Chain A
Amino acid sequence: MDIQRITSPGGITAFLVEHHDNPLIALRFAFRGGSAQDPQGKSGLAYFVTGMMDEGAGDMDAAAFQEREQELAVHMDFNAARDLVTCSYQTLTARKEEAFDLLKTVLTEPRFDEDATERVKGQILAGLKLDQNNPVNVASRAWSELAFAGHPYGLPIKGSFETVPSIMPDDLKGYADRVFARDNLIVVAVGDIDPETLAKDLDHIFGGLPEKSQLAPVPDATLAAGPVREVVEMDIPQSIVQFGLQGVMRADPDFLPAYVLNYIIGGGGFNSRLMEEVRVKRGLAYSVNSHLFPFQHAAVFMGRVATKNEAVGESLDVIKEQLSRIAREGPTEEELEDAKRYLTGAYALRFDSSSSIANQLLFLEVEGLGVDYVHERNGLIEAVTLDEVKRVAHRMLDADRLITTIVGKPVEAVPDPAHAMA
């Protein structure tokens, strides 16, 4: 795969992978900022903005815009994450000119009309109402609040019943003005387009944005000191348990060892220790997994299990025991070998379609890893040693410090003495 780095005459840089087999272009871009830029009392603003991007731009009101989108058959999908606002934009080659015109209008002349704002507000509030009764969402939201109290990461990305009603067109416009700029823009393109054309198109689409963003500084976050546990009572037969700890940052030399470790614990599906112990051996749950989330200002190791109320205590005990054991002993040589074989072998699967390639390239840009990372990455995974994984396991996995949220009607096992003291 040939990754080109191009710079437009106007100074916008982008990665490009050309593929002319299929007549489509996948553009992916992001603005650094995300929901961490939501002002005090306006949590949910970035998310709200992304919901407004197809609600009218330039001389098109919402209806006209949405009809145009369908007529051109473009796929436009804006999303708000903690640190980024992202957009996936796909068009058929045959419609490229008009599709890029449309995108330019979206970015430089979004309307944020009063009636569209009210409509989208109603949708967000309806969504919050549904989320409120979805135990997975409740557990996740409660976990972030608990772990990141006092930091923007503790606030809900979608906002709350208190903040969303107060968001007005001026707030939306203010966010777009501050965040949609060229100095925090990251762009990648994959598919049926050559570098010269792309360079010209980049200036056309993004050239009208302000040169500089106005981002508020976001401090690094420290996770709450565990152990802490919160139970949210909900009258459901199955409890959702979310548990987590301080993770490892992307720039930390221990990141890749931690990444490999997470695969062994709960990232590897049926090959993970948690799946084996909780589901396969004991039939306690349908799903149990773990993840590593390196945000820009914090890192989290987090897992989740869904199990019937009666089995919450036993499931958590099994999970803690597994975490403690791996912290003490590390993984086996064989587990490490298996993890490396999977992670290196599966890397190619992330590059099998234009949109998946675009995803990977965007990630490289966001993390500042550079083009060569694609070719170096498997070597870096291969180089991870058992000692490194043991060290990071010991450092990261203090099972007595878990931050846990449980949603449901858990019937708990008798706590062991260590937990009783907490």
Chain B
Amino acid sequence: MSEALSAEDSVSARKVHEFFLDNGLQVIVIPDHRAPVATQMLWYKVGSADDPKGISGLAHFVEHLMFKGTEANPPGQFAKVVARNGGEFNAFTRNDVTAYFERVARDRLPTVMALEADRMSNLRFSDDEVKSERNVVLEERRSRVENAPNAILQERMMAALFPGHPYGIPVIGWYEEIEGFSPEAAVAFYKRYYAPNNAVLVIAGDVTPDEVRKLAEENFGSIPASETLEPVRVRPVTAAPSEPVVIQLADPRAGRITVQRYFPVPSYPSAKPGEAEALDLMMRIVTGGAAGKLYRRLVVEEKLAATAGGGYVRPLRDAGMLAFDAIAAEGVTAEQLEEAMTRFIAELRQGSVTQADLDRAKSSYLAQFVYAADSQDELAGHYGGFLSAGLTLDQIEAWPARIDEVTVADIEKVAATYLDPARSVTGILEPSAESLAA
């Protein structure tokens, strides 16, 4: 028999380096010399939760505009230069962060760093570009939301889960507000938030800390810090729903009945010590694939669901959430499935997790750190995501050890505290009578 995996096994010899430029830019270097490749990620500490009132989706829109060009690199140039250098790039916007990344052969790093530095302070776009890009975002919203009933339901559930907090507003924005984007609002947003003192630069791959320091100084060193940035991101306090909320949506495109239940909980950055780790492990035990307790109960034993899963959604600065979801088996009603899920969660709240469950979950969790270390972009994403959401490097490095320390009692405690039905939001999606694509 093998021995249980320990936290030490999961930490490789890899060393992560951190330093700051005078203008406040935080730089993280993660050397990995297996292949002559480098990954650059630039994380801005701004996301959809920072959208001005009435202009939801602006952070995401500015991410699109970041590809429009500068004086030195006119429209189209960014993509051209990266591609001519054999590189790949992309960008994404989340609730608290907006990130840009490039992967290139190691000797092309200076080129893509120069591009990122240039658009940190020199972005330009015309009114026509704003208009055309607005249509692109509306198409993106149609693809992601309007064409997908589950996404429509999720938007409503998030609004109920975080009442009065911007986490309740979709990252891409409400349709009508996207239609109203103005160039002026985009410029003001960009000027305020796109600055070295609001960013984390992560370089992973075949590089040394010294060469990255030199490159970062050369490229970003002369960009002034933003003065209009608040020292602390001020957000409304998250208010949990005060009574159970149930949202029902009938849609001919739904396919199958699905039941989802969300609970607001602390996130890694906002939790008291140990709480986030306990929540994380609890959800791995409950929703970790086919070995998960929820799947076992609803799919295997009671045969009420075709699949069941969920998770602990972590990198939200002010709060996180627990999600449980299931797709009904043929002939099972939404009421039956919801009732079974409620029973399962009530038992979990009373303490149904065993030591054997916890040991298995820890073993697979700790292995994740090794698997993640196989890929430089995963590492860059891991460190960048948590640093820009408010964790420190020390906190990230101590993570495996803290996971190792969680006890069954810790899990029982967070279960009792947070799985309160009064704070839950339930979403039920049902196919309505006529099916569209018979």
Contacts and interface: CB of A to CB of B under 8 A. Distances in A.
Q: Which of A54, A67, A70, A90 has the most CB of B within 10 A?
A: A70
Contacts of B134: 283
Given A22-B12, A341-B85, A341-B86, A307 B253 contact: no
B417 interface: no
B288 interface: yes
B79 A237 contact: no
B86 A345 contact: yes
Contacts of A284: 135, 139
Given A133-B255, A233-B436, A341 B83 contact: yes
A133 B254 contact: yes
A95 B375 contact: no
Contacts of A129: 255-256
B147 A236 contact: yes
A71 to B, nearest CB: 5
A70 B364 contact: yes
Given A23-B370, A269-B79, A133 B436 contact: yes
A135 interface: yes
A351 interface: yes
A18 B127 CA distance: 54
Q: Which of B135, B148, B299 has the most CB of A within 10 A?
A: B135
A66 B288 CA distance: 10
Contacts of A279: 136
B330 A122 contact: yes
Interface in A248-305: 268-271, 276, 279-287
Interface in B363-386: 363-364, 366-367, 370-371, 373-376
Interface string A320-362: 0000000000000000001001111111110111111000000
Contact of B374 (A24, A308, A349): A24
Contact of A348 (B86, B133, B137, B436): B86
B17 interface: no
A283 B88 contact: no
B430 to A, nearest CB: 12
A26 B371 CA distance: 10
B437 A341 contact: no
A72 B88 CA distance: 35
B105 A132 contact: no
A4 interface: no
Nearest to B9: A94
A106 B111 CA distance: 48
Interface string B106-139: 0010000000000000000000000111111111
B53 interface: no
Contacts, number: 211
Interface string B66-79: 01000000001001
A133 B36 contact: no
Interface stretch (B219-227, B289-297, B345-353): B289-297
Contact of A283 (B2, B80, B136, B363): B136
A140 interface: no
Nearest to A269: B79
Given A54-B290, A353-B376, A24 B370 contact: yes
Given A54-B290, A119-B300, A348-B105, A92 B327 contact: no
Interface in A117-145: 119, 122-123, 125-126, 129-135, 138
Interface in B165-218: 205
Closest 10 CB pairs of A and B: A345-B86, A73-B367, A283-B135, A270-B79, A126-B306, A283-B132, A238-B142, A286-B140, A66-B291, A286-B139
Interface of A: 1, 19, 21-24, 26, 54-55, 62-63, 66-67, 69-73, 75, 90, 92, 94-95, 98, 119, 122-123, 125-126, 129-135, 138, 232-238, 268-271, 276, 279-287, 306-308, 338, 341-349, 351-356, 407
Interface of B: 2, 5, 9, 12, 32, 34-37, 67, 76, 79-80, 83-88, 103-105, 108, 131-140, 142-143, 146-149, 205, 252-256, 288-291, 296, 299-300, 303, 306-307, 327, 329-330, 359-361, 363-364, 366-367, 370-371, 373-376, 435-437
6 contacts: A75-B371, A134-B148, A238-B139, A282-B132, A342-B86, A354-B374
Given A24-B371, A70-B364, A270-B67, 16 more contacts: A21-B32, A21-B34, A69-B291, A70-B291, A126-B329, A129-B255, A133-B252, A134-B148, A138-B437, A235-B252, A235-B253, A238-B142, A238-B143, A238-B147, A286-B137, A349-B105
